[in-house]
């Protein structure tokens, strides 16, 4: 079952509600692109590739919601929908990339509004199918970096739940496991929303991969004591120079790994690379509501004093010099990143 999927029988978008896992598995259906934007913002769906596919299908819904009887009016309505969807979460470049791809498909059609509507849905489905194929290609390249017996620290959730299916960094682990390699995964909790302990651990259970959950601040101990051979994570955006913007805590993890000479591998589709942004400083960092930090409880009791305040950046920037190599669907990109990333992207664009 895919994380993001079009229900052709009812012309609806179906999403797995990731807020409820691991305690409850539930699908939600959407017919309104405004609700799709809200689902992205509220993290019903999360993970850069999954957000991109969701937004693409959101554009297909917008085309169907529009009552336009001519191409010009429908194009106007789709441009408005594109802005709503793009503003749902600003950091992940896959979102704007997917929306713009659907908009270009729509504006490139000169036929009837119905032809345009069908074209956008077909393009969204193609994007979703491509995501699965790309993930499997990345997984094959990335699995070559994993040795039999490795212990890997994995940050956040990058599995099938973060994509349409299969996964990025967790997809690499899954592929290595299916190749018969014995792998142990240290799953950091990934506070404050606990995507590691809630979602990654749940996925590893499904695959039968050996794992243990650790607190985010325990990673340095395991790295320094020589108990970890690789560090893997995904990315929400990669700048042209190889700076990686990913879930908050990635920078500290990469720092500790670099200090202890443990390889660091982001696993990202080329759609996550933003050549228009020279470095990580130019990428907007989403700051989410402080309640995500302040409302945490232990044994049913609040963990902070009443009246406490909090800061809650959702992402951080890992400078490229802390990255060993970047795994993509066209191969493994090594430094110098500024030159080799551009070559990889241009190779696909030819």
CATH of the domain at 261: 3.40.50.10470
**23 and 57 together in one domain:** yes
Same-domain check for residues 192 and 272: yes
Q: Does the structure show a pLDDT above 90 at 91? A: no
Among 108, 135, 162, residue at a domain's last position? 135
Do 212 and 314 belong together in one domain?
A: yes
Q: What is the pLDDT of residues 44-56, one digit of tens each?
A: 999 889 999 999 9
CA-based nearest residue to 240, from 284, 274, 268? 274
pLDDT exceeding 90 applies to what percent of the chain? 92
Q: Which pLDDT band holds residue 38 (cuts at 50, 70, 90)?
A: very high
Regarding whether 187 and 335 lie in a shared domain, the answer is: yes
The residue segments making up the domain with residue 40 are: 4-135
Asked if 190 and 209 sit in the same domain, the reply is yes
Same domain as 234, residue 109:
no
**Same domain, residue pair 147 and 129:** no
- pLDDT reported for residue 350: 66
Q: What mean pLDDT value characterizes the chain?
A: 95
Tens of pLDDT, residue by residue over 146-167, are 999 999 999 999 999 999 999 9
Predicted local distance difference test score (pLDDT) of residue 108: 86
The pTM of this model reads 0.91
182 shares its domain with 96? no
Per-residue pLDDT tens over the stretch 119-145: 999 999 999 999 999 999 999 999 999
Average pLDDT over residues 205-221: 97
Given a cut of 90, is residue 90 above it in pLDDT? no
Inform me whether the pLDDT recorded for 111 exceeds 70.
Answer: yes
List pLDDT tens digits, range 187-200. 999 999 999 999 99
Is 236 designated active site?
Answer: yes
Residues 158 and 66 in one domain: no
Last residue of a domain, one of 101, 135, 169: 135
347 pLDDT exceeds 90? no
pLDDT band at 92 (very low <50, low <70, confident <90, very high): confident
Question: Does residue 261 share a domain with residue 234?
Answer: yes
Confidence band of 261 (pLDDT split at 50, 70, 90): very high
Which CATH number do you get for residue 113?
A: 1.20.120.420
How many structural domains are present in the chain? 2
> What are the pLDDT digits (tens) for 283-302?
999 999 999 999 988 899 99
Do 129 and 158 have their domain in common? no
On whether both 95 and 220 belong to a single domain, the answer is: no
Q: Point out the catalytic residue in the list 77, 236, 243, 316.
A: 236
């Amino acid at each position: 079952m895919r994380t993001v999927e079009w229900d052709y029988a009812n012309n609806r978008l179906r999403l797995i509600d990731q807020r409820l896992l691991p305690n409850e598995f539930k699908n939600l259906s959407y017919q309104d692109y405004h609700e799709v934007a809200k689902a992205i913002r509220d993290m019903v769906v999360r993970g850069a590739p999954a957000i991109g596919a969701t937004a693409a299908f959101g554009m297909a819904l917008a085309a169907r919601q529009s009552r336009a009887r001519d191409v010009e009016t429908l194009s106007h309505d789709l441009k408005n929908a594109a802005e709503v969807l793009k503003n749902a979460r600003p950091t992940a470049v896959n979102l704007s990339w997917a929306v713009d791809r659907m908009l270009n498909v729509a504006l490139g059609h000169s036929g009837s509004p119905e032809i345009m509507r069908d074209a956008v849905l077909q393009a969204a489905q193609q994007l979703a199918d491509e995501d699965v194929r790309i993930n499997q290609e990345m997984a094959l390249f990335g699995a070559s970096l994993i040795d039999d017996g490795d212990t890997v620290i994995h940050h956040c959730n990058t599995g099938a739940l973060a994509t349409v299916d299969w996964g990025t960094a967790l997809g690499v682990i899954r592929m290595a496991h299916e190749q018969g390699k014995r792998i142990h995964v240290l799953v950091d909790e990934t506070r404050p929303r606990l995507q590691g302990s809630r979602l990654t651990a749940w996925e590893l259970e499904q695959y039968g991969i050996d794992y243990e959950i650790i607190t985010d601040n325990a990673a340095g101990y395991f790295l320094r004591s020589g108990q970890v051979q690789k560090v893997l994570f995904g990315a929400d955006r990669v700048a042209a120079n190889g700076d990686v913007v990913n879930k908050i805590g990635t920078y500290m993890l990469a720092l500790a790994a670099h200090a202890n000479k443990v390889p660091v591998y982001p696993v990202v589709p080329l759609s996550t690379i933003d050549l228009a942004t020279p470095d990580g400083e130019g990428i907007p960092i989403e700051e989410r509501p402080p309640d995500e930090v302040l409302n945490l409880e232990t044994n049913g009791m609040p963990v902070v004093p009443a009246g406490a305040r909090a800061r809650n950046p959702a992402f951080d920037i890992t400078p490229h010099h802390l990255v060993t190599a970047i795994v993509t669907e066209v191969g493994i990109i090594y430094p110098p990143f500024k030159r080799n990333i551009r070559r990889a992207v241009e190779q696909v664009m030819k």
